[in-house]
């Protein structure tokens, strides 16, 4: 048992393991996440919808979204942004590798009689001949990618954009990194059975990598018949480090904001929004 506990509480190298499929493509877990996102009784969820409404209004105004403008929403999830941008007249493509979320997004589009192109695929592998006026990757999804994955993503974005097209991405700031703390927690089948329909124990380890500005939430899920580990990596940024990544991949940085409603940058902000152009 001591050896097992030593392994559970050990920290890997930054981005050494990648288990996004555990979180997003597992049938049980993805359904639990969708249930949480759709729970209108949660005050935070209501506030989030209000924020998204303001965010969409700002995106439409800032990028001149109108009829036939082509938008690609990478990591579209259940289609929250894709649906609202399509309602504004945009020609929208949404890409996500969660079948649960894509199926929900398609059902919403069908109910609203909207023609949205949803693609069930890992966006790191997505290819298309289409060229877009705007590409979005929101909810700090960019932070969950390894350095090599982010480079792959930015190269794709540059290729997929029309001349003078824009990319809109939000990330976690160094202020948010400084507020994270290393910790170990233990739970027994909590969060309404989030990790499994079976009885389970979960040990969560939070590790900080000060030099790389990375945080890992490592979940060890122990069931009667199996043990799984889910790694949730997050990269944190300064404006300078974010600018560097984009400029190294050919982009011209247009500006920074504190969130995707166009709020002016602030040292206290937990996020940084970047707009870059081809």
* E strand map for 64-196: 70-74, 91-96, 117-120, 132-137, 161-173, 183-188
Q: CB neighbours (10 Å) of residue 65?
A: 19
User: Which residue segments constitute the domains of the chain, with CATH numbers given?
Assistant: 41-170+237-277 (3.40.50.150)
Q: What was the pLDDT predicted at 43? A: 43
Mean pLDDT (the chain) is 92
Tell me the pLDDT band of 42, cut-offs 50, 70 and 90. Answer: very low
Is the pLDDT confidence value at 16 over 90? yes
Q: What was the pLDDT predicted at 40? A: 53
* 5-17: average pLDDT: 92
Question: Which residues does 150 contact at the CB level (< 8 Å), separation at least 6?
Answer: 142, 235, 245
Q: What percent of the chain has pLDDT over 90?
A: 79
* 154-175: average pLDDT: 97
User: Quick one: how many helices (H) and strands (E) in the chain?
Assistant: 10, 11
Q: What was the pLDDT predicted at 33? A: 80
Is the pLDDT confidence value at 189 over 80? no
Q: Which two tokens stand for residue 213?
A: 């500005």
pLDDT per residue as tens digits for the range 92-126? 999 999 999 999 999 999 999 999 999 999 999 99
Specify the pairing of strand 132-137 against strand 252-257.
unpaired
Q: Which residue has the higher pLDDT, 168 or 42?
A: 168
Q: What was the pLDDT predicted at 39? A: 67
Q: What was the pLDDT predicted at 237? A: 98
| Rg of the chain taking only CA atoms, in angstroms | 19
Are 267 and 153 within 8 A, CB to CB?
Answer: no
Q: What was the pLDDT predicted at 38? A: 72
């Amino acid at each position: 048992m001591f050896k097992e506990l030593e392994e559970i509480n050990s920290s890997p190298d930054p981005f050494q393991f990648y288990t996004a499929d555990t979180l997003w493509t597992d049938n049980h877990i993805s359904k639990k996440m969708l249930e949480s996102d759709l729970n209108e009784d949660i005050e935070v969820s209501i506030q989030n919808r209000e924020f998204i409404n303001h965010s969409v209004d700002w995106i439409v105004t800032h990028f001149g979204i109108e009829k036939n403008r082509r938008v690609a929403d990478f990591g579209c999830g259940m289609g929250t942004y894709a649906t609202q941008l399509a309602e504004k007249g945009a020609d929208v493509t949404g890409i996500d590798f969660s079948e649960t979320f894509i199926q929900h997004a398609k059902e919403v589009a069908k109910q609203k009689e909207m023609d949205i192109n949803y693609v069930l695929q890992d966006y790191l592998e997505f290819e298309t001949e289409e060229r877009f006026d705007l590409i979005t990757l929101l909810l700090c999804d960019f932070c969950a990618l390894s350095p090599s994955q982010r480079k792959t993503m930015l190269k794709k974005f540059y290729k997929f954009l029309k001349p003078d097209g824009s990319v809109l991405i939000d990330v976690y700031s160094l202020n948010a990194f400084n507020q994270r703390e290393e910790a170990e927690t233990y739970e027994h089948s909590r969060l309404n059975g989030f990790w499994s329909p079976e009885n389970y124990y979960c040990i969560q380890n939070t590790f900080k990598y000060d030099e790389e500005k990375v945080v890992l939430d490592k979940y060890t899920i122990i069931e009667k018949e199996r043990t799984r580990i889910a790694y949730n990596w997050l990269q944190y940024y300064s404006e300078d480090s974010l600018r560097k990544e984009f400029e190294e991949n050919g982009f011209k940085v247009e500006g920074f904001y504190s969130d995707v409603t166009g709020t002016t940058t602030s040292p206290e902000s937990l996020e940084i929004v970047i707009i870059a152009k081809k």
